[in-house]
Structure 1
Amino acid sequence: MAIILGDNQYGKAESRVVRIYRDGSRHEIRDINVSTALRGPFAPAHLEGDQSNVLPTDTQKNTAYAFAKSHGIESIEQFGLALARHFVGAIEPVEGARVEVEEYAWTRALVDGQEHDHTWTRTGAEVRTAAVTVDSSGEHVIGGLKDLVLLKSTGSEFAGFLEDDFTTLQETHDRVMATSLNAKWRFGAVSEASAADVPWDEIYAGVKAIMVKQFATLQSLALQQTLWHMGKAVLEAYPFIAEIRLSAPNKHHFMVDLEPFGMDNPGEVFFAADRPYGLIQATILRDDVPLAPEAWRSAAGLA
């Protein structure tokens, strides 16, 4: 029996980068969290402590800051591609790079009813994500979002489920359905030429709008059914998206029994339970598009 070193990678996790554009009197802001990971012939660093092929993680952090200035942050997908291409193309030992980016949303402050040119407030919206992989298998881009909290007060059912000796859940045809959605969508083949023309921000807004619409309008028989319709609608709207992976905790809302207080509760007062919760996950994909396992090999796991 031999003991060998398996897959390995290293990088800098969660470098916070805030880029402010001061090109005019009205400033713009992009607030991101960048994680990088490099892959290649780094076994000597593990086995012998030989760092001769190792680009310091501190250098990776500095590169993210420098690229925020030199390349700008037009979109987090574009920024991730620029970084990953640099590490693979300019750093000789590096054979593959994974860049994961979170983006935090800011909204312009209102002063006397008008948007202020250089003041913002942090919103409580979802976190936008992107994960870029550049290696010998090609260039892979995964857009996404996490912690998109959705709730509908009706239009959801759960009945006809399997029962056994331990089942106590009652069927319902009118319930509150809520979740904190995580979604990741993989774009088809990306090249340097095609990536330059992709309207990344518009696609993000469009995908989010489609998923929210499906959640709101579908008479849902189960959260599983809702996820299927979300993913299917996204793929129908965007032919260049190959697959979408959805993860949705079922944020349960239980109706409070007000009878001890002499009150009726016709679906108006609920207890919001934070745990335990059902966790529903699904992948919706095109059957004619090759799988891309390298696209999903994570680093920090933030995107």
Structure 2
Amino acid sequence: MTEIQLGDNQYGKAETRLVRVDRGGDTHVVTDLNVTTTLAGDFAATHLTGDNSGVLPTDSQRNTIYAFARDGVGQIEDFALRLARHFVDTAATVTRARIAIEQYSWDRIPATGHSFAQAAGTRTVTVTYDGETATVVSGVADVTVLNTTGSEFRGFPRDRYTTLPEMADRILGTSVTARWRHRDAEPRDWADSFEWARERLLTAFADTYSKSLQQTLHAMGERVLSGDDDLVEIRLALPNKHHFLVDLAPFGLDNPGEVFFAADRPYGLIEGTVCRADAPDPGLAWW
């Protein structure tokens, strides 16, 4: 009879919402986070016998997030590192912690110190720590961008099911989700690194003449890695936000590339990784 055994397992507290307000006189700063903790280790007893003596409650994980925020959040990379090291270094059964944070940005409304409007795009970080090595993956999600020209899609194979015409000039739109891995977890100006990488992503999208969204993806990844030796790998997901020219001929009208239908689904999803040839082993970075 085949032996049955417990395989890999993990648990944690998903999507703890945290908002901290730093009240520096009349000018306030809002830090708006969504934090997920995931712990792995020696949890066989709870699975096999229901013995919970080695299981740190997910409720405790949530409370730890709030308690740590009392001392300040700072950069989300530093906050995630603090949490990951705490869980591994203080819980006897935990051998690996993964902290994933989404940060929702708020822009201060001009001429006010305490009024805000939510900004586009979400800053992200995932930290993995195993008691010895910490890996930091920063990123950004849901940054919607659009080129109204400078893009084509031609030369693709055709079969009996192909109806797509070749396009010499098209609208190229996408919602950028990118995650870049740092060479190490040594302290640095994480905010400056993030802003620099985000700017390089957007600049590459804007000034790359695109023959395919795949080509644009590679250009964006290459641009980010080429200017910062600390960044060794980047993974991007780019949904193709299709814009189809509307046929106005039934109404006796022409349409010289001005009126489009923006389709939300289905959509092409282009994903890829760009990395340095000398990039260190990612280990558990993408786990």
Identity percentage of aligned residues:
50
* Runs ≥4 residues deviating over 3 A: none
Confirm or deny that 1:86 pairs with 2:82. no
Return the alpha-carbon distance in structure 2 between the equivalents of residues 230 and 254 of structure 1. 25
2:174 to 176, 179, 190: 179
Confirm or deny that 1:118 pairs with 2:114. yes
Q: Deviations over 1:179-209 (max 9, x none)?
A: 111100011122xxx22xx111111111111
Which residue of structure 1 lines up, in the alignment, with residue 192 of structure 2? 202
Q: Give the secondary structure class of the aligned counterpart of 1:53.
A: coil
Q: Deviations over 1:204-247 (max 9, x none)?
A: 11111111111111110000000001001111111111100001
Q: In 1, are the aligned partners of 2:175 and 2:238 still within 8 Å (CA)?
A: yes
Which residue of structure 1 lines up, in the alignment, with residue 222 of structure 2? 232
| 2:83 aligned partner, one-letter code | L
Q: Deviations over 1:20-73 (max 9, x none)?
A: 112322111100010001111001111111100111000000000011112x12
Return the alpha-carbon distance in structure 1 between the equivalents of residues 199 and 33 of structure 2. 22
Distance 1:286 1:137, change over 3 A: farther
Confirm or deny that 1:151 pairs with 2:138. no
Which residue of structure 1 lines up, in the alignment, with residue 267 of structure 2? 277
Q: Residues 34-113 of structure 1 correspond to what in structure 2 (within 5 A)?
A: 34-70=35-71, 72-110=72-110
| 2:108 aligned partner, one-letter code | R
Return the alpha-carbon distance in structure 1 between the equivalents of residues 232 and 20 of structure 2. 31
CA deviation after TM superposition for structure 1 residue 276, in Å: 1.0
Segments of structure 2 that go 5 or more residues without pairing to the other structure are none
TM-score using structure 1 length: 0.92
Which residue of structure 2 lines up, in the alignment, with residue 163 of structure 1? 158
2:236 to 243, 246, 250: 246
| 1:148 aligned partner, one-letter code | V
1:292 to 273, 279, 282: 282
Q: In 1, are the aligned partners of 2:245 and 2:257 still within 8 Å (CA)?
A: yes
Q: Deviations over 1:98-126 (max 9, x none)?
A: 0000001111123xxx2x11121223x01
Q: Deviations over 1:124-163 (max 9, x none)?
A: x011110000005610000011111111100000001111
CA deviation after TM superposition for structure 1 residue 264, in Å: 0.8
| 1:171 aligned partner, one-letter code | E
| 1:33 aligned partner, one-letter code | N
Return the alpha-carbon distance in structure 1 between the equivalents of residues 5 and 242 of structure 2. 46
| 2:105 aligned partner, one-letter code | A
Larger RCO, structures 1/2 (Cα 8 Å, 6+ apart): 1
TM-score using structure 2 length: 0.97
Count of aligned pairs: 286
Return the alpha-carbon distance in structure 1 between the equivalents of residues 137 and 143 of structure 2. 17
